[in-house]
């Protein structure tokens, strides 16, 4: 697939503020992390042509025992509180001009969220995520994880890093120079994050020679030393081309952009840099292969699982 085909995804008309019209789908479960996700979106520069669909899924699992009345009572309670869960989020958007709508659906949460996103032709699914630290990071909610894995459109996982942003928004965008990464650049340019956000582009070189310790170069003949130096020079030149092209795409919306080049294993270097930078959001592209359940690129998977920052997986299928 050519890059040009990936870029037409956001060929929607402009809203009155000059940005691209966006369709957001925000999934709400009544927990604070999902409400904070809605709050973050409500604070973005959304216009009156942008659309926000608030969705709550009633996930009814019958009790496995003989007292059948309990199941009916629990189901009735869930039906009763569903509008109240949505009303909390609706209140957050009262001062925005976006086209707002709500839905209560019944069924398995992941399937229903993806079904509504597909039916509404949403551009971005927004989910609250606890973003646990340490070893507990691997325990990302199953709904959030499965939506990211199975979705064919971008997904924003809002963690505590976006609950109360002080100062300018810091975004770390990891690019590998693939067509999917350039498509992710288009996604980042389309989502109405503040135009004064601090954008850091990071590219990690998976060098063919980076694991050769320099102290052993003395055992290599001069011709080989020259060849290794040439390889490294070409790798860094290619990295610069990738970063320059990505920066040109993002400058359609953002002006404060810096670039970083690292050498090593991509997931390790990206997460390590994120720990030092402390970004509010990490953005990665993902090819999102169809038809293979549970398949997600290793870097996207590791960032989603281990980063404490919010994560935008700019998947396009």
Alpha carbons 126 and 159: distance in angstroms, whole number: 11
Per-residue pLDDT, 1: 37
Percentage of the chain exceeding pLDDT 70: 79
Alpha carbons 214 and 210: distance in angstroms, whole number: 9
Per-residue pLDDT, 93: 96
Strand 310-315 relative to strand 155-158: parallel, antiparallel, unpaired? Answer: antiparallel
Alpha carbons 82 and 96: distance in angstroms, whole number: 23
Per-residue pLDDT, 198: 98
In this predicted model, what pLDDT tens digit does every residue of 250-294 receive, in sequence order? 999 999 999 999 999 999 999 999 999 999 999 999 865 544 444
As a 3-state breakdown, the chain gives helix, strand, coil percent values, each rounded to 5, of: 45, 20, 35
| Ranges 34-48, 65-79, 154-168: which has the least confidence | 65-79
Nearest alpha carbon to residue 34 among 64, 57, 66, 9:
57
pLDDT at 136 over 60: no
Per-residue pLDDT, 293: 42
Alpha carbons 157 and 144: distance in angstroms, whole number: 7
Per-residue pLDDT, 72: 74
Per-residue pLDDT, 309: 94
Query: Model-level pTM?
Result: 0.85
In this predicted model, what pLDDT tens digit does every residue of 285-299 receive, in sequence order? 986 554 444 445 789
pLDDT at 63 over 70: no
pLDDT at 20 over 80: no
In this predicted model, what pLDDT tens digit does every residue of 226-250 receive, in sequence order? 777 788 889 999 999 999 999 999 9
Per-residue pLDDT, 291: 41
Mean pLDDT of 19-45: 93
- How far is C-alpha 34 from the geometric centre of its chain's CA atoms? 15
Alpha carbons 259 and 96: distance in angstroms, whole number: 34
Domain ranges of the chain: 3-315
pLDDT at 115 over 80: yes
Q: Would you identify the CATH topology of the domain 3-315?
A: Rossmann fold (3.40.50)
In this predicted model, what pLDDT tens digit does every residue of 81-112 receive, in sequence order? 999 999 999 999 999 999 999 999 999 999 99
pLDDT at 176 over 50: yes
């Amino acid at each position: 697939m050519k890059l040009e085909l990936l870029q037409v995804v956001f060929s929607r008309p402009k809203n009155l503020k000059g940005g691209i019209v966006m369709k957001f789908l925000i999934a709400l479960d009544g927990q604070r992390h999902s409400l904070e996700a809605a709050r973050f979106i409500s604070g973005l520069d959304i216009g009156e042509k942008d659309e926000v669909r608030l969705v709550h899924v009633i996930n009814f699992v019958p009790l496995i025992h003989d007292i059948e009345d309990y199941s009916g009572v629990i189901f009735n309670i869930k039906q009763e509180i569903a509008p109240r869960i949505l009303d909390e989020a609706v209140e957050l958007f009262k001062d925005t001009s976006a086209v707002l709508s709500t839905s209560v659906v019944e069924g398995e949460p992941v399937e229903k969220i993806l079904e509504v996103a597909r039916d509404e032709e949403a551009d971005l699914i927004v989910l609250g995520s606890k973003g646990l630290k340490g070893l507990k990071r691997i325990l990302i909610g199953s709904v959030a994880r499965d939506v990211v894995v199975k979705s064919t459109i971008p997904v924003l996982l809002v963690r505590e890093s976006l609950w109360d942003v002080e100062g300018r928004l810091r975004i770390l965008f990891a690019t590998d120079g693939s067509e999917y990464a350039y498509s992710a650049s288009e996604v980042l340019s389309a989502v109405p994050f503040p135009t004064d956000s601090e954008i850091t582009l990071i590219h990690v070189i998976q060098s063919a020679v980076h694991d050769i310790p320099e102290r052993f170069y003395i055992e290599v003949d001069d011709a080989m030393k020259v060849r290794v130096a040439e390889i490294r020079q070409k790798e860094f030149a290619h990295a610069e081309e990738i970063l320059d092209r990505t920066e040109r795409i993002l400058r359609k919306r953002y002006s404060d952009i810096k670039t970083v080049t690292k050498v090593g294993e991509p997931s390790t270097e990206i997460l390590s840099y994120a720990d030092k930078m402390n970004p509010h959001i990490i953005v990665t592209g993902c090819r999102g292969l169809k038809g293979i359940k549970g398949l997600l690129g290793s870097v996207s998977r590791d960032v989603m699982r281990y980063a404490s920052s919010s994560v935008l997986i700019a998947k396009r299928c």
